[in-house]
Amino acid sequence: MAAFDINHAGGLAPAVPREGAGASPCSACSIRNLTICAPLNDIEQTQMAAIVTNIEQPPGTPLFDEGEPADHVFNVTAGTIKVYKLLPDGRRQVTGFLFAGDFLGLANQDTYAYSAEAVTACHLCRFPRRKLEDLMTRFPKVEQRLLNIASNELAVAQEQMLLLGRKTAREKIASFLLLLAKRAQQRGQKDDSVSVPMSRTDIGDYLGLTTETVSRTFTQLKKANLIRLLPNSQVELSQRAELEDIAGGF
Amino acid sequence: MAAFDINHAGGLAPAVPREGAGASPCSACSIRNLTICAPLNDIEQTQMAAIVTNIEQPPGTPLFDEGEPADHVFNVTAGTIKVYKLLPDGRRQVTGFLFAGDFLGLANQDTYAYSAEAVTACHLCRFPRRKLEDLMTRFPKVEQRLLNIASNELAVAQEQMLLLGRKTAREKIASFLLLLAKRAQQRGQKDDSVSVPMSRTDIGDYLGLTTETVSRTFTQLKKANLIRLLPNSQVELSQRAELEDIAGGF
DNA sequence: CGCCCTCTTGAAATTGTTCAATAGAGGTGG
DNA sequence: CCACCTCTATTGAACAATTTCAAGAGGGCG
């Protein structure tokens, strides 16, 4: 999906032994420089690869549920994941969508604080939590990277609180589309048209709206010629500047 | 305010030199075990104390503003701080209230992602960011602690998104009061009546409501005999179980 | 080709907001 | 110590945004 980004293509890479069967695919990983593995050299990378399992997650399948023992952490390598929390009566708040390069499963309790489910077909790297923790004490760089990731997520969460608490439906949808565009751009995808793989319900649960309001607002933006709804869940951001104006500085 | 909690009261503490003038007050710090300094022994603590400045923050005064260079991080030792983000037109979202023991200023950009202001008179420990970072590489325990704190804040932020996106005014207020009670309890205060030092506007900006709705909802809960509004911004939680029921698992 | 699920659209209902006025609390100065 | 003044909180009524309830349209998959 994303373009390959071999970020150590110089001639100095040491000869890393490739194990037979499940040989470390990490050195060819296209999103390596986006994620937790970024600060590691090839040798360290191999140690990381030794504790990792590659898993595939069909669309709509749960990765884990809130309250389960948090035995693993994950790194998304392809696809879209949603994470959410539920109220006792079933109301749902999607707290984030995760894409290739994103890390997930951070928890300082021994149980997950939220549920995670594949939106599209996903590929992930799965790390046993315990082993990653061991590895972190050996490679403080990884811990630093994780703190960095956490700080980032915190800033994103605060931005989302601003959206949820203070923005109108129109502003929320505009912000959402721009966020998707920004994330796609980070992964090296074109940003004139955005892929919106999640359902209206998921979007509503992310933005604190109902499906109907999401739908109506899309229609409204479409009629104002700010966006175009294309086939294959693609949305063209025809008037990016105008959208940014509506979104309120995001 | 909170009870003293000297957590290393054994007989093995080494003789720590106390500098003359601004001698490390840390060893008598009542919230030490709640915060970033918790994992340090007395010697390490002294090194920490060497880079710290104690500051006092009168009510209503800004600590820093969003977008300013993030040169310092802080630790609240007394009082209440609010942190918030603004939209271009002035709408405000309070993303958190901070109390004694709370850490603030985490940012991986070089500027603050939010503004911070004293609600009540506050005392804080101020660390130069650069120096704390140096210290972290020397004491990985501190970095671990910070990652822990960040993970915690992340879980709190997700809970808040659930509140902002999916709870009714009544549920929001109930959750808010229970949160204050829980935080007060953590600091070792009684939890039958809660101190609510912030204005209705601040509460509204925290919960995604208007002042009027906050006020009306307080009145409504009061009339239902779930709370009592006492003098000095104290609120008695008369029917804790009922409130928890309304709050929806918080 | 048709069925099912999601998305869209419409109309009524509701929650929370906005605008406006009153009440109350805390602080100041006479 | 009290009166006054100002700021904050409360209350009321009209309004607006979003939700809810309901029905129809579209699209993808077997």
Q: Provide the mean pLDDT of chain A.
A: 88
The reported pLDDT for the residue numbered A36 is 87
Q: State whether residue B106 sits within 8 Å of chain A by CB.
A: yes
Residue with tokens 């970072």: B133
Whole-number Å distance between alpha carbons of A159 and B163: 15
Q: Do domains A6-161 and A167-247 have the same CATH topology?
A: no
Query: pLDDT confidence of A7, banded at 50, 70, 90?
Result: very low
| pLDDT tens digit sequence for A131-155 | 999 998 888 889 999 999 999 999 9
Residue A4 has pLDDT above 70, yes or no: no
- Is A108 an 8 Å CB contact of chain B? yes
How many angstroms is C1' of C18 away from CA of A233? 38
- The alpha carbon of residue A11 is apart from the nearest alpha carbon of chain B, in Å, by 31
A167-247 placed in CATH 1.10.260.40: no
Residues A44-91: tens digit of each pLDDT: 888 888 999 999 999 999 999 999 999 999 999 999 999 999 999 999
Among the listed residues A158, A167, A163, A236, the one whose alpha carbon sits nearest the alpha carbon of residue A195: A236
CATH code of B6-161, in short, is 2.60.120.10
CB A74 within 8 A of CB A104: yes
Residue numbers 18-47 of A with CB closer than 7 A to any atom of strand D: none
C5: residue with closest CA to C1': A199
A90 in B contact zone (CB under 8 Å) = no
**How many angstroms separate the Cα of A75 from the Cα of each of A32, A49, A105, A146, A152?**
10, 12, 9, 12, 16
pLDDT of residue B24: 63
* Residue whose CA lies closest to nucleotide C7 C1': A215
**C-alpha to C-alpha distance for A207 and A179, rounded to whole angstroms:** 12
**Residue range B199-213, pLDDT digits in tens:** 999 999 999 999 999
Cα–Cα distance for residue pair A247/A143, rounded to 1 Å = 34
B15-39: pLDDT as tens digits? 333 343 345 667 788 888 888 888 8
Report chain B's mean pLDDT, rounded to a whole number.
Answer: 88
Taking the stretch 163-222 of protein chain A, residues with Cβ within 7 Å of any atom in nucleic acid chain C are 199-201, 211-212, 214-216, 218-219
How many Å apart are CA A95 and CA A86, to the nearest integer?
Answer: 10
Q: Give pLDDT < 70 ranges for chain B.
A: 1-25, 191, 249-250
Structural domain spans, chain B: 6-161, 167-247
Q: What H or E segment, with its residue span, contains residue B246?
A: helix B240-247
